[in-house]
Amino acid sequence: MKRIGVLTSGGDAPGMNAAIRAVVRTAIDRGVEVFGVRQGYQGLIDGLFTPMGARDVGGIIQRGGTILGSARSLEFKTPEGQRKALRALNQAGVEGLVVIGGNGSQTGANALHQLGFPVVGVASTIDNDLFGSDITIGVDTALNIALEAIDRLKITASSHQRAFLLEVMGRDCGYLALMSAIAGGAEAVVIPEVETEPEHVADVIREAYEKGKAHAIVVVAEGAKYNAAKLDAYFTEHQDRLGFALRTAILGHIQRGGNPGAFDRILASRLGAGAVESLLEGQYGVLNGWVRSELTRTPLETVVASKKPLDLTLFKLAQILD
């Protein structure tokens, strides 16, 4: 294998650039050319290939986002779009592909694998919902951003004797909400994996008020049945029962931005380098992930067909420590 490609797809995650850098420099060290594919799978279809050398990835390890860009591609989800992508790869002389991204990205990688093209995935999503990796690129940085938000809100909440609902990202996975709630000492957490009624949240806030606390913080996952907007609407009608005045803050895409922390830079470097080694060793159709502090390779077929469970013992811990 003398020429490989690398693309980033789906939502950006802090550390993607570190993974790109590792792919490029590891490949060059092994005497392999690298082409960056711009704008994800749509760029693959459109043939947006750019040769990348060691200097092209200099100074990017500390940058958030992805220098290759990312875009959703409905066309790639069709058999015709996938065949166009395969044709573009073959026309460019690309013999293998590294796909950096989450569930949707790895579903696309598996589609190319099923067509017989050598492809290897790299686990990258702030949601941490990808099967085949205990933790994915971007999670640690996003978690620390959420934690900083909790710490800041506590100061304002205590100053004004208020309760806050803080909504964090994560799609249908409550990992970020749960971990930030534990680390931030929140009074309650609402996640998709455990259905929580508004009345229970009201009880927690009211109990904090009656105990004489200066504030109450509730961390809410965006994918929960009762997200921050629905809880806020419910409590608007029952404000007097809470004790505290209530405010809502939605962290949103702020969690995606910013420079990756040390853990994400190192994880991305190891997974990116490992992906190149997988291609050169003939280990195709796998996801490079991090399981029990070791680099692992999980078949993409298994990754896209499996749901990653959340450790609910941690939810019990959050309730004990509130």
Is 189 annotated to bind ligand? no
The reply to whether 264 belongs to the active site is no
Residue 57 and residue 111 share a domain: yes
Residue 200 and residue 69 share a domain: no
CA–CA distances in Å: residue 281 to residues 50, 88, 113, 118, 316 = 24, 24, 16, 11, 43
Residue 151 and residue 9 share a domain: no
Residue 20 in any domain: the answer is: yes
Residue 202 in any domain: the answer is: yes
CATH of the domain at 217: 3.40.50.460
Is-contact 315 200, C-beta < 8 A? Answer: no
Identify the domain boundary among 216, 238, 256. Answer: 256
**How far is residue 313's CA from residue 163's CA, in Å, rounded to a whole number?**
26
Residue 158 in any domain: the answer is: yes
Task: Say what the pLDDT of residue 54 is.
Answer: 96
Starting at the earlier edge strand, list the strands of the sheet with 294-299: 49-52, 33-37, 3-8, 96-101, 119-123, 286-291, 294-299
Residue 127 and residue 7 share a domain: yes
Residue 220 φ then ψ, to 5°: -120, 130
- Domain with 173, as residue range(s), is 140-256
Residue 120 and residue 31 share a domain: yes
Is 265 annotated to bind ligand? no
Residue 110 and residue 67 share a domain: yes
Task: Say what the pLDDT of residue 257 is.
Answer: 82
Is 102 annotated to bind ligand? yes
CA–CA distances in Å: residue 152 to residues 26, 71, 146, 245 = 40, 33, 10, 17
Residue 177 and residue 66 share a domain: no
Pairing verdict, β 294-299 and 286-291: antiparallel
CATH of the domain at 109: 3.40.50.450
Residue 130 and residue 7 share a domain: yes
Task: Say what the pLDDT of residue 236 is.
Answer: 86
Residues of the chain scoring pLDDT < 50: none
Q: Which amino acid is present at 27?
A: A
Residue 227 and residue 165 share a domain: yes
Residue 12 in any domain: the answer is: yes
Is 72 annotated to bind ligand? yes
Q: Which amino acid is present at 244?
A: F
Residue 316 in any domain: the answer is: no
Task: Say what the pLDDT of residue 263 is.
Answer: 98
Residue 264 and residue 124 share a domain: yes
CA angle 283, 289, 291 (to 5 degrees): 120
Residue 179 in any domain: the answer is: yes
Domain count, the chain: 2
Residue 192 in any domain: the answer is: yes
Residue 110 and residue 219 share a domain: no
Residue 219 and residue 200 share a domain: yes
Is-contact 223 28, C-beta < 8 A? Answer: no
Residue 319 in any domain: the answer is: no
Is 24 annotated to bind ligand? yes
Is 183 annotated to bind ligand? no
Task: Say what the pLDDT of residue 248 is.
Answer: 95
Please identify which of the residues 12, 29, 56, 127 carries the catalytic annotation: 127
Is 152 annotated to bind ligand? no
Is 254 annotated to bind ligand? yes
Is 250 annotated to bind ligand? no
Task: Say what the pLDDT of residue 91 is.
Answer: 96
Task: Say what the pLDDT of residue 240 is.
Answer: 75
